[in-house]
Amino acid sequence: MGFLIVFLGSGIGGAMRHGVNLLAAKTWGEEFPFGTMAINVLGSFVMGLLVELFAFKFGMSQQWRLFLTTGVVGGFTTFSTFSLEAALLWERGHVLQAFLYVSGSVVLGIGALFVALYLGRHLLGISDA
């Protein structure tokens, strides 16, 4: 049942992400990824509110937590989960682990993307770039 709940929520979050991206592109153009930046910041803010106010303070059921956090907000942006996990490591006093998690995720994630672009372009001949 948990997979169905997450599936439904992530569809809603993904549709919301698409809407924000379209609105940002129409409003500010496509030269800078304003939509993605807004999604990441807004998603992180909403994740913090949901976790603190609803999940911990109001005893939200596991199904609702899955639907809202992993589903809707996770479908909107996984950056919100990344932000939450980094904050939890920091708050638990694992400052070095938080730093390694953040820097490792960013550096390795971007590095993996460049490796995949290279492989796709030069070894697999996927694009003309």
Q: How many residues does the chain have?
A: 129
The candidate with the shortest Cα–Cα distance to 102, out of 110, 115, 73, 41, is: 110
Look at residue 76 and tell me whether its pLDDT is greater than 80.
yes
Residue 77 assigned to a binding site: yes
pLDDT at 6: 96
pTM of the predicted protein model: 0.74
pLDDT at 25: 95
- Of these ranges, 4-18, 33-47, 74-88, the one predicted with the greatest mean pLDDT is 4-18
Please enumerate in sequence order all residues whose Cβ is within 8 A of that of 121, keeping only pairs 6 or more positions apart, or say none: 127, 129
Q: 66 near 5, Cβ under 8 Å?
A: yes
Residue 70 assigned to a binding site: no
pLDDT tens by residue, 10-40: 999 999 999 999 999 999 999 988 998 999 8
Residue ranges of the alpha helices (H) in 60-119? 62-65, 74-76, 79-91, 95-118
